[in-house]
Amino acid sequence: MNNSIEQIWKHGFVESNLTAIPKINNLYSKKSKNIVDKIHRMYALNVKYLIVLPIFISLICFAKGWLVLATTMPFLLLWIAFIARKQLKKLDLNSKSDNSYQYIKGFNEWFNDMVSSFTWAYQVFYPSLALAILVEIRISTVGKNLIEGYLVSYPDSGLLFGTPWVFYFAACLIIAVVGYFATTLYLFDLKLMYGRVMKKLDEILCDMEELRQ
């Protein structure tokens, strides 16, 4: 076929060739379903990684002696994997009906719902991970040496469980900053992974909606 989808769209109505409209619809439907299938495969693969990854992370952390991270990170990742698996089941229920427009629109609604679910989840995930890292640093040799050095310089500092108050303040500040940027971090990661294909799908869906008018 010499003419692209965009060329048919541009010249079809000028020539009053009404028979071109079904062809345009079919081409857009085929292209959009291919994109949806690609996103579906990518998402399903990511879910598998999220299920397997905690095992390797736990082994590595235990080998390094990072006991807090060895227990916290796998738990957090498995929690994310549980949410991802739940969203994947919803996607599988969005069957490929004969009405391709409704199927694509349903997929787009699923994607937006998935983003909303993970936006909330990562607002918990990133601050929790930051807290685990800070606790790991505190109980490590580096953390103990840092506190000892601080107490030598400021011997009158108030302590809570052997840790100066200023360290708690710094930890709360770090966690607050991470929590503030959690959504931005997630959306950036999402854009890297799905941004290009979702942009194409949105453009096709808009064109299909115009064709239906």
Report the pLDDT value the prediction gives residue 131, as an integer from 0 to 100. Answer: 93
Say yes or no to pLDDT of 37 above 90. no
Report the pLDDT value the prediction gives residue 174, as an integer from 0 to 100. Answer: 92
Read off the pLDDT of residues 63-94 as tens digits, 9 standing for 90 and up.
Answer: 888 888 888 988 998 899 888 888 888 877 66
Amino acid at 61: C
Higher pLDDT, residue 52 or 153 = 52
Structure tokens at 117: 């679910």
Report the pLDDT value the prediction gives residue 67, as an integer from 0 to 100. Answer: 87
* Rounded Cα distance, 204 and 23, in Å: 14
Read off the pLDDT of residues 143-167 as tens digits, 9 standing for 90 and up.
Answer: 888 888 877 777 777 777 778 888 8
Give percent of the chain above pLDDT 70. Answer: 77
Q: What is the DSSP letter of 15?
A: T
Average pLDDT taken over every residue of the chain = 78
Report the pLDDT value the prediction gives residue 130, as an integer from 0 to 100. Answer: 92
Say yes or no to pLDDT of 9 above 50. no
Mean pLDDT of 111-137: 89
Identify the burial level of 168 via C-beta atoms within 10 angstroms of its C-beta, where 0-12 means exposed, 13-18 middle and 19 or more buried. middle
Report the pLDDT value the prediction gives residue 127, as an integer from 0 to 100. Answer: 93
* Rounded Cα distance, 202 and 177, in Å: 32
Q: What are phi and psi of 160, to 5 degrees?
A: -135, 115
Higher pLDDT, residue 150 or 57 = 57
User: For the stretch 132-166, what's the b/e string if a residue is b when 16 or more beta carbons lie within 10 angstroms of its beta carbon?
Assistant: bbbebbbeeeebeeebeeeeeeeeeeeeeeebbee
Say yes or no to pLDDT of 113 above 60. yes
Read off the pLDDT of residues 161-192 as tens digits, 9 standing for 90 and up.
Answer: 778 888 888 899 999 999 999 989 888 888 88
Higher pLDDT, residue 13 or 144 = 144
Report the pLDDT value the prediction gives residue 16, as an integer from 0 to 100. Answer: 46
